[in-house]
Amino acid sequence: MNLLLEAFAWLFSPERLAGSHPLPEAVLVHLGYTFLAVVIAAAVAIPAGWAIGHTGRGRELAVGVSGAARAIPSFGLILLLVLLLGVTRKPEAATIAFVLLAIPPILAGAYAGLEAIDRRTIDAGRAQGMTEWQILWRIEVPLGLALLVAGLRSAVLQVVATVTLAAYVNLGGLGEDIIQGLQLRRFEQVLGGAIAVAALALVLDGVFALLQRAAVPRHLRAASRSRRVTTEPGVPAAA
């Protein structure tokens, strides 16, 4: 309990908030790497996932590549890319590693969102004379958006946790407090850094949870609420 109190006292101390490595700056660096990696990964994975979900081709390859990418140790990947690109290009090496880790969940969310759509809905669009592009943008993308946001949510949380390791190659962020605390055997600093990373992850998770809820089309949310009401005990089902 004392260690926890010491960690919070260190985290909000004047030195930590406005010293040589202030907490707001560390949070911005952490967020910068996170969102840069997720944006690049989304630019690659979303079009590929939509193409797979719309055509039904390439799913097995995507699943295999995603599974292999998730099995790669994050720390080992960062160090390998730093060695390959050179120590003068550590930011680029770390960003590439974060992008590679963010692609699998975004790719899975993109094609799973389209695959989850009732085929009768798509067949109805074709029966009305809609082109494949119209079916993709007017039917599949809106209906599959919630699962895509879920994939983005998973990617953001994974990258936020992994960016902590960037401190091992002197790139800053919230992980620098943890690494420095381990070296100095200041365990309140280690715990304070871990609390900061966890708090940032919880805030981002809450934001993306709201976005995921908002991504569900209004008529589907209304239908879901209606089903919950009719299935509650004591409420008669509609005839």
The tens-digit pLDDT sequence of the chain (239 residues) is 688 888 888 888 887 777 677 888 999 999 999 999 999 999 999 999 999 988 888 888 877 877 777 777 887 888 888 888 887 888 898 999 999 999 999 999 999 999 888 889 888 988 898 988 999 899 999 999 999 999 999 999 999 999 998 888 888 888 998 898 888 888 888 999 999 999 999 999 999 999 999 988 776 665 555 555 455 555 554 44
Plot region of 117 (φ>0 → left; ψ -120 to 50 → alpha; else → beta): beta
Domain-located, residue 237: no
Residue numbers of the domain that contains 165: 2-231
d(CA 16, CA 122): 55
Domain-located, residue 52: yes
pLDDT of 221 = 62
Amino acid occupying residue 190? V
d(CA 87, CA 211): 38
The 10 Å CB-count burial string (b at 16+, else e) for 155-173 is: bbbbbbbbbbbbbbbebbb
pLDDT of 196 = 93
Domain-located, residue 143: yes
Domain-located, residue 17: yes
d(CA 199, CA 191): 12
Domain-located, residue 238: no
CA quadruple 103, 106, 108, 110: dihedral, nearest 10: -130
Distances (CA, A) of 127 to 83, 116, 131, 133: 56, 20, 10, 14
- Number of domains the chain contains: 1
Domain-located, residue 159: yes
pLDDT of 55 = 86
CA quadruple 11, 13, 14, 19: dihedral, nearest 10: -40
For the segment 204-229, what is each residue's pLDDT rounded down to a tens digit? Answer: 999 999 999 998 877 666 555 555 54
Domain-located, residue 196: yes
pLDDT of 197 = 94
Closest by CA to 180, choosing from 169, 189, 191, is 189
Domain-located, residue 142: yes
d(CA 157, CA 159): 6
d(CA 148, CA 201): 19
pLDDT of 231 = 55
Q: What is the pTM of this model?
A: 0.86
CATH number for the domain spanning 49: value is 1.10.3720.10
Pair of tokens at residue 190: 């280690």
